[in-house]
Structure 1
Amino acid sequence: MTALTVIGATAGLLVLVLMALAPALVELNERHPVQPRKQPVRAETLPQKPVRVSAALPTH
C-alpha cells in the first residue's frame, strides 16, 4: 500500500465514523446546547481616544 492509499483509507473511515456519530451529536447538542463563556472585558481592549500631537509645540 502506498502512502496515498493509507491516507485515503484513513480519511474515508474518519468520514464514515463521523457520519455514524452525527445523529448522536445532534441529539446531544439539543439536550445540552453550548453556551459561550462570558469573558471579562480587559482594559486594553476598550477603545481609547486618539492623542493629538500639536505641530506648534517645540520638540527640543
Structure 2
Amino acid sequence: MVEETLDDVMAILHQHNIPLELEPSTRTGACGKITSLYIRDPDNNLIELANYPHK
C-alpha cells in the first residue's frame, strides 16, 4: 500500500525513468476496492503499488 495518490506515485516513477508494467486499474482488495499499478524491480519481480480510494 502507498499513502500517496497513484498520480503522485506515477510522477515519481516517471522522474526516475521507471516504466509501468500495467497502468492503474481498479481491483478488489481485502477491505474493498483498491486502485493498483505495477512495476518491475531490478530482479524482474512484479511489484504492486496500490491504495484505497479516498472517501
What TM-score results when the alignment is normalised by the length of structure 2?
0.25
| Larger RCO, structures 1/2 (Cα 8 Å, 6+ apart) | 2
Larger radius of gyration: 1
TM-score using structure 1 length: 0.23
**Structure that is richer in helix per residue:** 1
Q: If each structure's strand is expressed as a fraction of its own residues, which one has the higher value?
A: 2
